[in-house]
Structure 1
Amino acid sequence: MSARVLFIGEGSSDNGLVPHIESIAVRKGLDISVTVPDFGLLRLPTGHSVPDKLGAIRKIGGNYDLAVVQRDADRGPAQDRRDEIKKAVDAEWPGLRHVAVVPVRMLEAWLLLDEACLRRVAENPRGRVDLDLPKGLAAENIADPKQLLKESLARASEYKGRRLAQFQKRFSQHRLRMLELLDPDGPVSCLPSWQNFITDLDIAFEILDG
């Protein structure tokens, strides 16, 4: 029987984390089924907070063995987000096991480290324009990694004028694709927030498989 996993991200482009969740389960020898609710299609009267999303999903039914909840740390300590997620689960779905995924400061910091992936998604894999991307832990100190990722994709594409404008409109798709293609053993593996994501899932899957 498959373990039932509920994934809740901040937005639809965070769904690129799902293949990584599935690959970790495969490595652990665990069969899982991941549900990714589309809150837009559900048209439920929910807000954007974790309690709102959990409450809405619980109301429509379904049983889950594990919830994986992603929230960016933004400008606060990562532990604050972990505490926020735990409080939400305890209040809205008592007894549901969960894993908190908390990128520092934003999930885009993880993507800035993989230059080859960025150039590929920018549709110019052999480009040589200097991107001046952060290295290692410096990625988590960027004030606005989302904006830097947008700018870096545009620069890497080397598009101009109308073609560049059309390219930039697809940023959410590019972000999703980058996350799907992200090498879990590549440069991102040096970041504590990524290491915590992998370790916490490993532990949760071991418990489910026990």
Structure 2
Amino acid sequence: MTVRALYLCEGSSDTGLRFHIEGIAGAVGREILVTVPELDRLPNKPGHSVEDKLRAAQQLSDGRHAYDLVVIHRDSDREPPDHRRREITEAVEAVSPGLAHVPVIPVRMLEAWLLLDQSAIREVAGNPNGRVPLDLPGPARAESVPDPKALLKQAIATASEERGRSLQKLQKRFSANRARLLEMLDREGPVKQLASWQSFTNDLREALGSSH
């Protein structure tokens, strides 16, 4: 049976996580159909809360139980991950009681996951053979960086070795480059060492195992 999954992300450049959801499902022998609704295009754009997004997605599916599973991305930002996990659970229970759900809670923000692959950063920067040091944290420190988004943006700029107008053009493509980095993320690479990634993948495998 194909698992029908809804993926609610924080922003449009986070949609690439769907490929990892599909890949993890395939690795455990499950067929999965992942829907990523474009909630920002709705006439009544939903708020940022998980509950608001769930209600909007429910309206798009005509209120029917269209999904077996919902995967919800919520950066921890300055909150403890357990607070975000509870927020997600309470929102699901309020909107779709009993629906299986998988939280995706990067510590601080998802960019922390993307800091770990220097070769991918050099590639999206357009300078794959560059050797300039990027001074990026390893897995032990990646999720304690105060502003991983700013650090990632700086790392792409440094890796490019561009200057002036060319650098400005590159900086304007940050959202697209970030999205590409997420798609390129190596599930078997250093990200496997992060507790937040382990929680996401373990929860997803467990949910897929109980979906029939």
Q: Give the TM-score normalised by structure 2.
A: 0.96
- Structure 2 runs not aligned, ≥5 long: none
Aligned to 1:55: 55
Structure 2 residue matching 1:137: 3-state secondary structure? coil
2:19 partner letter: P
Q: Distance in 1 between matches of 2:46 and 2:148?
A: 28
Matches within 5 A, 1:151-170: 151-170=154-173
Q: Distance in 2 between matches of 1:17 and 1:98?
A: 15
Q: Distance in 1 between matches of 2:180 and 2:16?
A: 7
Aligned to 1:139: 142
Aligned to 2:68: 65
Report the alpha carbon displacement of residue 57 of structure 1 after superposing the two structures with TM: 1.3
Aligned to 1:120: 123
Q: Distance in 1 between matches of 2:51 and 2:67?
A: 16
Q: Distance in 1 between matches of 2:105 and 2:136?
A: 22
Aligned to 2:18: 18
Matches within 5 A, 1:104-115: 104-115=107-118
Structure 1 residue matching 2:72: 3-state secondary structure? strand
- Structure 1 runs not aligned, ≥5 long: none
Report the alpha carbon displacement of residue 7 of structure 1 after superposing the two structures with TM: 0.2
**Structure 2 residue corresponding to 1:97, chosen from 100, 103, 115:** 100
- Following TM superposition, where does structure 1 have runs of at least 4 consecutive aligned residues deviating by more than 3 angstroms? none
Q: Distance in 1 between matches of 2:12 and 2:120?
A: 20
**Structure 1 residue corresponding to 2:177, chosen from 174, 177, 183:** 174
Aligned to 1:35: 35
Q: Distance in 2 between matches of 1:198 and 1:56?
A: 26
1:139 partner letter: A
Aligned to 2:84: 81
Report the alpha carbon displacement of residue 152 of structure 1 after superposing the two structures with TM: 0.5
Report the alpha carbon displacement of residue 183 of structure 1 after superposing the two structures with TM: 0.4
Q: Distance in 1 between matches of 2:31 and 2:113?
A: 27
Report the alpha carbon displacement of residue 130 of structure 1 after superposing the two structures with TM: 0.7
2:183 aligned with 1:185: no
2:118 partner letter: E
2:145 partner letter: I
Q: Deviations over 1:18-49 (max 9, x none)?
A: 10000011111111111001012223342121
Moved more, 35-44 or 74-83: 35-44
Q: Distance in 2 between matches of 1:163 and 1:193?
A: 35
